[in-house]
Chain A
Amino acid sequence: MREHLIEVGYLLAAVGFVLSLKWMSSPPTARRGILAGEIGFGIAIAATLAKPEITGEGYIWIAAALLIGSAIGVPLGLLVPMTAMPQRIALSHAFGALAAGVVGTAEYYLRSEEISRFTMGVLGAEVLLGFLVFTGSLMAAGKLHEILPQRPLTYRGQNVANFALLGAAVGIVIVLVLDPGLAYLFPVLIALALVFGVLLIIPIGGADMPTVIALLNSYAGLSAAALGFVLDNRLLIVAGALDGTSGLILSIIMCRAMNRSFTNVLFGAFGQLQHTAETAEVGQIRSASPDEAAEIMKAARLVIVVPGYGMAVAQAQHKVRELADALLAEGVDVRFAIHPVAGRMPGHMNVLLAEANVPYDRLFDMDEINGEFPQADVVLVVGANDVVNPAARHDRGSPIYGMPILEADKAQCVMVIKRSMRAGFAGIENELFYNPKTVMIFGDAKEVVGDLVAEVSGATASLGH
C-alpha cells in the first residue's frame, strides 16, 4: 500500500513539473509555474521520505543535509546579482550533475554484484555524463566569472586528444558492462569524465557560451533521466527527459541563431578562426559627441536599441532604461531588439533589461523586429557587435556568413557606442562601423548613455517644461 502511495506521489509530482513548464509559456502565468514546480517537489520529497528503507538515524542525517543545502541555496538564490546570472546558472548545472554522478557512484558500489548489463550500461553513461558536466560547468562558470581566460585555448591535436579521452571512457563503460565486478575501473572512469569535462570547455570562447550552457543543461537532464533508469524511478525519468529536451531546444535555437552546428561549436574554437580580413575596405569612421547624438535621437520618431554583452559588462542597463524613459517623455517610441545569442546565455539581455525595469513588451525578438528597422530613425547599438554585422548577409569569406543578424544597417541612422575600434569577439571587422549612415560614440557604455540621458532630459528642462 505504502509503495503505491509513494508512486502516486511521484505521479502528482511529475504532473506538477509538466504544468510548471507549461505555465512558463507567458510572463503572467510563469510564477504560477514556479508554484506548481515547488508543490511537485514537496510531494516528491515527502513521498521519498515515506520509503521503508530509510532508517531512524537516516532521518537525522537527511535533516542535516537538507539544512546545509538550504543554507547555501538560499543566498545563491537571493543574493546573486542579475549580472552574474550566466555563471550562477552554470554553477547550478555543476551542483546538479555532481549529485547525479555521486548517486550513480554510490549505486555502483552498493549493487555491482547483482547489477544487470543494461543497468550497468546506463549507470556508466550516467556517471560519465554527470562528472563531465560537473567539471565542464565549473569551467564555464569560471570563464563567465572571468576567473579563467575567456579566450578559447587551443593547441595542436586538441580534438584528437579529446576524442581519445572520451573513447577511453566509453571503452571503460563497455568493459564494465561485460564485467561489472571490475571495481578498480570505476574510479578511472570518474577521473576520465572529470578531465574530459575540463578539456571540452577549454577551447570554447565567451561568445559560444549560450550554446554550451544550454548543452550542459541538456546533459544534466539526461544524466538525471539515466539515473531514473538505474534506480527504477519514473519521476527521475520524466524530470530528466523534460530538462534534457529543454536544454536541447535551447541549444538548437542558439546554434541556429549563429548558423552553426553543434560539432562546430564544440570543436570549432570560433574565436581562433583568424579571418584575414581584407573585407573591410577600411573606410571613413564618423564619430559624434553625446550631445550631437542626443539631438538626433530627440528628433526621431522610432529609436531601436540593440543591446549586447558589452552593455552587461559596462553594467549600463539601468542607464539605458533611463535613456529610454527620457526619450519616451519626448514622445519618441523606443524598442529593444534582442538577438538570440546576445550575451552569455539564452535570454540574458531580457533578464538584464527586465531587472532595469524595462517593460517586457518593449523587448522584441529578432524575427519580430527585423522588419521594422527601415522605419527606425535611429538604431542605438550598445555593446553589440557581431549580431549587427552586415557581412553575415553577403560576405561568403566571413566566419559569421549566414548567421541571422539584426538588420540595423537598414535604419536611417546607426549610432554605435563602443570603447574603441577593436574587433568584436569573433575577431572580425564590422563593416557597419564604416557605413556612411553610422556614427560612432566612443567611450564607456555606462558613461556615454549617462551623458545621452543628461542631454535628452536636460534639454527638456531648458525648454521650460
Chain B
Amino acid sequence: MNKTLLITRPKHDTTVHYLFYWSKKIIELAQEKSIKVWDLKGKRANRKEIEGVLKKREPSLVFFNGHGDDDRIAGHNDEALLVAGENEELLISKIVYALSCRSGKKLGYESVKKGALGYIGYDEDFIFFIDQNKMSNPLMDKTAELFLEASNQAMICLIKGHNIKYSHEQSKRIFLNNARGLINSESEQSYLIPYLLWNMQHQVCLGDQNASL
C-alpha cells in the first residue's frame, strides 16, 4: 500500500482549534518523509469528504482530530464522520490514531472487527489544559504542550514506521515523563499530573499490535 496520510482538522471551537494547530506538526513530519497527505481541515472535515477520501484514495494512515463519543468521531461543527454500525468498514486495512474522546470504547473495536489494521484512541475523555493567554497562538502554549506533545508522539512513531504497540507505548511514556517532570521540579504546574496520567491510562491500542506503515 502506498504511504498516504488522511488527517481531519476541524476548527470550530477552542478545543479543536488547539488540535488543529498541534496536528500541523504531524503534517510537516509526514511531508518530510514523503508521505502524501490529505488534509481535511475546517469545513472540509465533513462526512462526505472523509468518506470520499477513504474510498478513493485508500490512505494507509488516518489521524482524526475532533470530538467523539463511544461510537463515533466528529468533524466540523461536530458532524459525525465515522459511526460504529454505519461506516466503520471504511477503515479496512488502515492504521488509525483518533485524538478524540472515548472512541476507543466502541468505534475502535468495531473498526478492527471490520478490518482496520490497528486503532489507537482513548476509551475516556481526552483532557488537556489551556493557557488563556496563549489561545491565539496554541503552539506557544507550554501548558497544552505537555498533553499534545505526548499525544503527537503516537503519530510521530507511526510515521517513522514503528508498529502500533510501540507507538502507543511511546506516547504513554511521554505522558508519564511529563507528569514525573512536574513532580520532580515541584512545579507550579503539578496540578496537571492527574490529568496527564488520566490520558495515559485511557489511551488504548487495538488490533494487530505489529501493524505498521
> A and B bound?
no
A interface residue numbers (CB < 8 A to B)? none
B interface residue numbers (CB < 8 A to A)? none
